[in-house]
Amino acid sequence: TSPSASASTSASGLGLGLGLGFAMARSNSGLGTSPSAANFNALYEHVPQPPVAAINTMLELLMEDLNLTDDKKQVLRLLTNERKWIMLQQHLGERYRDNAARDLQQEIADIRKLGNNPDREILTDLVVSLRSRPIRWISNFIDNGGLAILLSNLKSLGLENRHDEFEELYIKCLKSLMNNKIGLSAVLDNEGSMNVIAMSLRSPSFRTRSLVFEIFGAVCLIPGGHRCVLDGMEALADLAAMRFRFEPVISTLWLSCQGVSPLEKELQVACMSFINAVICGGPGVNLEFRMHLRYEFLHLGLMQLIDKIGHIENELLQTQIDVWIAGLESDEEECFGRLNTEAFDMDSSPDLFDVIYETMKSSSCLEPFNSFLKHIALLPANPFQKMKYMFIIDKVVQQICLQKNGDDTDPAAALMEFDFRTLITEFGDPTKAKELEEKLRKAIEKSRKLEKDIDIFKEGSVSAESVAAKKDEEIKILSQSLAAAKRDVLELSNALKNRLLDLDGGAELLAKSQAVLNSLSRTTDVSIAATPRPPPPPIPIT
């Protein structure tokens, strides 16, 4: 069950329980079927208090409907049962007022009005409502097309490159909507929603950019959200003809250092918070992915900007800077440990080559590494062509390093659709496969030679009775050797078959091996008992 469906069911169940209670009270009190605001307090007095277990159940549903934090929930749980019951009546009874249905219809009309004639006042009120109204109200807003209208209007502004106060209000509405499970789920389930939000990073408004980075930073830490954010940044780079997807982040951070707005510190915190979230969230549990993104930010000049803002007195900003520096140092230390070397400048190509060479020179990796370098040397001499080739090679290596269990964790590094686990398995131990293949080939050749020798003995004409016994013995030995050879062929064939079944692409070799075995099996087995003795020599004629 989805979060939205669960919350809607909870709210409906709570409303049904209180609704039955109010219906009974109206019937017993003679207040009629439509209580007004004037006699609503009188109605409370006639609603019988349910059992304690029912009150606690309804309270839990109400707190879920109101999207309360755990701390606030705990405070309400400590109230007396009488106080809980009064609070339940006050909150849930509102939906049974005379004008509750009319209010809902008016809200729906306001939502639809946004699609054709956006109103600043309605949007401002909507920001508050989406943040504070109960879950059932949020569900009604989404079900009646509210989210779709917000995204559609924001997308229109982005495509027209219009950045005004309405853009900021739409972003605020989406941020408020994503403050609860149902709204967050609805936004993430809406394909392309992060792409639309990302377009607002071109806004000149510092506040708008801060809101977008706050949204993206939070989404990065949600299961399934990290990929959506990367897709959004990639879509923005394509739309704005940027070479690197994180250019808007670095350019925004640089802009916040120019002393032109009182919102600079807020924007700096939002930028650094997003950088840490996108590095550590989702696939950031893997060192390869973290270093992959760190390299990208470092290449864009993040450290120079950190040096520039590092002296600013802002506790939140300094916390985010400390997180970045500590994480970078820890990850680099782990990288150096893997390379079994002391710290060195990874931006220095000669130093990096020397370290990599040291790790390979005494291993079987050196031969393919040398082959790789030799083929790099064969690339076109034209620097522009060579750059394109190197770009492709770089992307392939990135994809190999980042792919986990067949999943490409970074869409920007996924140059082609390919599961590298297949190749890794196939080349995991090529020596054993080749050894088995060679042994099988030799065993088959030996078997064929033995069969040929037996046929020669069987077809040969021997004129002496004295050699008959010797021939039988030789045939027996050859037959035993042939049987042993066939057993070897069968055992080696099974071993090779099992090896090939674990690999992709081994079907062809397996088929060839099977064809040879079938050929051998069709050869007539030599039976010693069935071998006739040679006839005696003819009697001399006198």
Tens digit of pLDDT for each residue in 288-322?
999 999 999 999 999 999 999 988 889 999 999 99
How would you class 65 by CB atoms within 10 Å of its CB: exposed for 0-12, middle for 13-18, buried for 19 or more? buried
pLDDT average, residue stretch 402-415? 79
Tell me, which fold does domain 361-418 have in CATH?
Recoverin; domain 1 (1.10.238)
pLDDT in tens, 336-379: 998 888 888 888 999 999 999 988 888 888 888 999 999 999 99
What's the rounded mean pLDDT across residues 450-456?
73
| C-beta of residue 524 within 8 angstroms of C-beta of residue 452 | no
- Predicted confidence band of residue 507 (pLDDT cuts 50, 70, 90): low
More confident of the two residues 110 and 281: 281
Domain ranges of the chain: 3-96, 361-418, 430-522
Query: What is the rounded distance in angstroms from the CA atom of residue 8 to the CA atom of residue 158?
Result: 33
Confidence of residue 325 (pLDDT cuts 50, 70, 90): very high
Question: How confident is the model at residue 150, as a pLDDT?
Answer: 94
> Which pLDDT band holds residue 450 (cuts at 50, 70, 90)?
confident
pLDDT value at 481 more than 60: yes
Q: How many whole angstroms separate alpha carbon 395 and alpha carbon 292?
A: 11
Residue 199 has a pLDDT of: 96
**Cβ atoms of residues 342 and 336 within 8 Å:** yes
Work out the number of other CB atoms within 10 angstroms of the CB of residue 229.
24
Give the pLDDT mean for 85-114: 68
Q: Coil, strand or helix: which one is 407?
A: strand
For residues 73 and 142, the answer to whether their CB atoms sit within 8 Å is: no
Crossing angle of helices 349-360/366-377, nearest 10°? 140
In the predicted structure, residue 155 carries a pLDDT above the cut 90? yes
Per-residue pLDDT reduced to its tens digit, 54-73:
888 888 887 877 777 788 88
How confident is residue 266, by pLDDT bands cut at 50, 70 and 90? very high
191 has a pLDDT exceeding 80: yes
Question: Rounded to an integer, what distance in angstroms lies between the CA atom of residue 84 and that of residue 53?
Answer: 12
- Between these two residues, 334 and 495, which has the higher pLDDT value? 334
pLDDT of residue 252: 95
Q: Which helix (H) or strand (E) holds 66?
A: none
Rounded CA separation 376/373 (Å): 5
| 215-229, 252-266, 414-428: the lowest-pLDDT one | 414-428
- pLDDT tops 90 at residue 172: yes
The rounded distance, in Å, linking the Cα atoms of 147 and 141 is: 7
Residue 166 has pLDDT above 70, yes or no: yes
Check if the beta carbon of residue 244 is closer than 8 Å to that of residue 219: no
Asked if pLDDT for residue 512 goes beyond 70, the answer is no
pLDDT number for residue 14: 43
Rounded to whole angstroms, the Cα distance separating 325 from 344 reads 17
Tell me what the pLDDT averaged over the chain comes to: 78
Q: Which residues are registered as beta bridge partners of 407? A: 404
Residue 101 pLDDT exceeds 80: no
Letter string b/e over residues 269-286, b meaning 16 or more CB atoms within 10 A of that residue's CB: bbbbbbbbbbbbbbbbee
- pTM, whole model, 2 decimals? 0.65
Look up residue 288 and give its two tokens: 């390869």
Residue at 172: amino acid letter: K
Q: Which secondary structure element, helix H or strand E, spans residue 29, and what is its range?
A: helix 3-29
Retrieve residue 308's tokens.
Answer: 């520039």
Which of 6-10, 335-339, 474-478, 500-504 comes out lowest in average pLDDT? 6-10
Residue 515 and residue 521: Cα distance in Å, rounded? 10
Least confident of 107-116, 268-277, 278-287: 107-116
Q: Give pLDDT, residue 11.
A: 39
Which residue did the predictor score with more confidence, 203 or 101?
203
Please give the residue that has the higher pLDDT: either 449 or 52.
Answer: 52
- Which range (106-110, 152-156, 524-528) has the least confidence? 524-528
pLDDT of residue 3: 39
Polymer length in residues for the chain: 542
CB atoms closer than 10 angstroms to residue 180: 23
Q: Quote the longest CA-to-CA distance of the chain.
A: 150
Report whether 436 contacts 500 (CB < 8 A): no
Q: What is the pLDDT of residue 15?
A: 42
Look at residue 157 and tell me whether its pLDDT is greater than 60: yes
- The two structure tokens encoding residue 445: 């050749």
Q: Is the pLDDT of residue 239 over 70?
A: yes
Residue, of 497 and 220, whose pLDDT is higher: 220
Instruction: Give the Å distances, CA to CA, from 199 to 2, 163, 309, 415.
Output: 29, 10, 26, 24
Is the torsion defined by CA of 18, 100, 70, 225 positive or negative?
A: positive
